[in-house]
């Protein structure tokens, strides 16, 4: 059993604010890297031998984890981990906490509160990003439609007319999105088409919350995502490029972000299909 498996099974579902869990995650990565010369096989041995020249110090792995916690908006975990790892915070705790609070409001369907807090954090953010602003207002309309079970659709109609109509009149995509959303007022929710039913699922809240978080982070740091996510894509590109140019490459290459009890002697994970640790 690997260190990550032990970390997860010892405490059940890991607490995102538990710094000990993130320390075990870092240890898991180091364990994976230390195994890179142990597996047999001609192509794999050549690949491993070349990979040994690339070292990943503990401090670098800790920095990647702290960066991820900061970018995703986990202030308590970021603060604890930075102290334990003796690293400087990547952002002020209050800024991370505000981003997390905005995401929480969106995930719970309190869009008006999320917009108010977002404007308090950055008064120009919505004016400078009409698409993001429309996405939030559209989601607010969806939440109003959810509340129309008693038959009173006037609040939803008024909101759509005042807030979304003027924006949709000058943008074809906005108009199409608005028309689909208004269809929720016409058809019974238990017999919606898959496309319309998707508007009522939590995934829409999550997508909007992610876009809001990325936009805030980009305006504050000029970055769209955590470094470890960028590295994962870079690794996938490098593997594809190596295979395209017929370089000696194992049939399957583990990324080391998921657990497999037999990974010491077997290649695991389909190429490009590794799951990122997010909580």
* Two structure tokens written together for 234: 């870079």
* Two structure tokens written together for 278: 């997010």
Helix or strand run (H / E) with residue 173? helix 172-182
Q: What is the pTM of this model?
A: 0.56
Domain residues of the chain, as ranges?
94-221
Instruction: Split the chain (279 residues) into runs of 10 and give each run's mean pLDDT.
Output: 47 63 70 54 56 62 71 66 65 73 94 96 93 97 86 90 94 96 90 93 94 85 61 71 74 56 38 33
What is the maximal distance between C-alpha atoms in the chain? 70
Q: Among 100, 124, 95, 101, which residue's Cα sits nearest to residue 113?
A: 101
Q: Is 248 helix (H, G, I), strand (E, B) or coil?
A: coil
The per-residue pLDDT for 275 is 33
Share in percent of the chain as helix, strand, coil (round to 5): 65, 0, 35
Please calculate the CA angle 198-203-204 and round it to the nearest 5 degrees: 70
CA–CA distance, 61 with 23 (Å, rounded to integer): 10
Cβ–Cβ under 8 Å, residues 27 and 10: no
Q: How does pLDDT run across 39-84, given as a tens digit for each residue?
A: 444 455 566 666 556 666 666 677 777 777 766 666 666 667 666 6
Cβ–Cβ under 8 Å, residues 71 and 225: yes
């Amino acid at each position: 059993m690997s260190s990550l498996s032990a970390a997860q099974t010892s405490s059940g579902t890991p607490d995102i604010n538990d710094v000990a869990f993130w320390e075990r995650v870092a240890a898991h990565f180091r364990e994976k890297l230390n195994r890179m010369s142990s597996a047999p096989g001609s192509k794999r041995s050549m690949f491993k031998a070349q990979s040994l020249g690339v070292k990943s110090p503990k401090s670098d792995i800790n920095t990647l984890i702290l960066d991820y916690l900061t970018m995703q908006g986990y202030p308590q975990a970021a603060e604890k981990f930075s102290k334990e790892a003796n690293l400087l915070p990547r952002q002020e705790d209050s800024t991370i906490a505000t981003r997390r609070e905005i995401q929480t409001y969106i995930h719970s369907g309190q869009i008006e509160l999320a917009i108010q807090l977002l404007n308090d954090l950055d008064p120009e953010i919505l004016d400078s990003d009409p698409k993001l602003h429309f996405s939030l207002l559209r989601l607010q309309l969806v939440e109003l439609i959810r509340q129309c079970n008693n038959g009173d659709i006037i609040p939803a109609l008024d909101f759509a007319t005042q807030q979304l109509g003027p924006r949709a009149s000058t943008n074809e995509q906005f108009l199409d999105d608005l028309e689909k959303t208004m269809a929720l007022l016409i058809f019974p929710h238990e017999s919606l088409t898959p496309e319309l039913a998707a508007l009522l699922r939590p995934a829409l809240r999550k997508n909007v919350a992610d876009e809001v978080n990325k936009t805030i982070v980009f305006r504050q740091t000029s970055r769209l995502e955590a470094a470890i996510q960028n590295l994962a894509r870079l690794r996938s590109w490098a593997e594809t490029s190596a295979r395209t140019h017929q370089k000696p490459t194992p049939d399957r290459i583990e990324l080391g972000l998921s657990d497999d009890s037999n990974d010491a002697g077997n290649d695991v994970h389909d190429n490009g299909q590794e799951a990122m640790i997010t909580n």
